Amino acid sequence: MHTREENLQAFGRLLDVLDTLREKCPWDRKQTNESLRPNTIEETYELCDALMKDDAVNICKELGDVIMHVCFYAMIGREKGQFDIADVLNKECDKLIFRHPHVYGDTVAEDVGKVLQNWEQLKLKEKGGNKTVLAGVPESLPSLIKAYRIQDKARNVGFDWDEREQVWDKVKEEIGEFQAEVAHMDKERATSEFGDVMFSLINAARLYHINPDNALERTNQKFIRRFNYVEQKAKEQGRLLKDMTLAEMDALWNEAKQMEAE
């Protein structure tokens, strides 16, 4: 691993490269906050993919892309006379120190739960108490992640179940209400109730310390692996999936499951 001095030199090198590109590359010269935003979203998701796969090579690569975007936005901020990378880093350091009084001050936090509760209270103080508890949840977050963050923030100010087992009654209630609306063929109300079902299940996952987004992505990847196996086996038999019976496809699916269990 590199020394602190080598890390700082590498960071300075990135800033120098970006300054050069901003001056000499036609593409880099024309970029704005708005034009970069879609690329930043894509790079962030690519990093998330690598993290889910625990792919060290691509985690390293994608982290570089994300850091480059952070520095690019800071460079644009400097050009506008608004802020530069030093402002970005110093503000982050100040925020981290302020929100960790159990490390930099006299506050005592016995466990992670207390740390998170203090964190939310301190975030409110940063805005003089005018910021609402849920205001920090970005509107553009994917709905599943947003639901988890909303519930987590509410928990940190004490709005939560007394016992986590209580959530299952709520889950059952919401499923029943969804089934009732489906039976009535009321799509609008059924859509609303299905949202409630998902929200309650996300709540259950949170209470049992499971990240629902990670859990769903694992299932997505598992389905892809198994379905690809079924498709590949069908090709080896010279057949198309659409020409196979459900029972035949299910047999291949079970083969894929068995292989994963071995």
CA atoms of 178 and 190, how far apart (whole Å): 6
Average pLDDT over residues 232-246: 93
Distance CA 87, CA 72 (A): 14
pLDDT of residue 101: 86
Q: Is residue 134 within 8 Å of residue 150, measured between CB atoms? A: yes
Residue 99: predicted pLDDT: 84
Q: pLDDT tens-digit profile of 37-88?
A: 989 999 999 999 999 899 999 999 999 999 999 999 999 999 999 999 999 9
What tens digit of pLDDT does each residue of 101-155 get? 888 877 776 777 767 777 667 766 666 554 788 887 888 889 999 999 999 989 8
Residue 95 CA to residue 159 CA, distance in Å, equals: 25
Q: State the pLDDT confidence band at 170, using cuts at 50, 70 and 90.
A: very high
pLDDT at 127: 60
Name the pLDDT band for 228 (thresholds 50, 70, 90).
Answer: very high
Where exactly are the structural domains of the chain? 4-86, 214-261
pLDDT at 124: 66
Q: List alpha helices for 208-245, DSSP H.
A: 212-236
Burial classification of residue 74, based on how many CB atoms lie within 10 Å of its CB (0-12 exposed, 13-18 middle, 19 or more buried): buried
Averaged confidence pLDDT in the chain: 91
Q: Distance between CA atoms of 130 and 236, rounded to whole angstroms?
A: 64
Asked if CATH classification 1.10.287.1080 holds for the domain at 4-86, the reply, yes or no, is yes
pTM: 0.69
- Of 153-162, 170-179, 186-195, 226-235, least confident by mean pLDDT is 153-162
Which is nearest to 142 in space by CA: 221, 202, 86?
A: 202
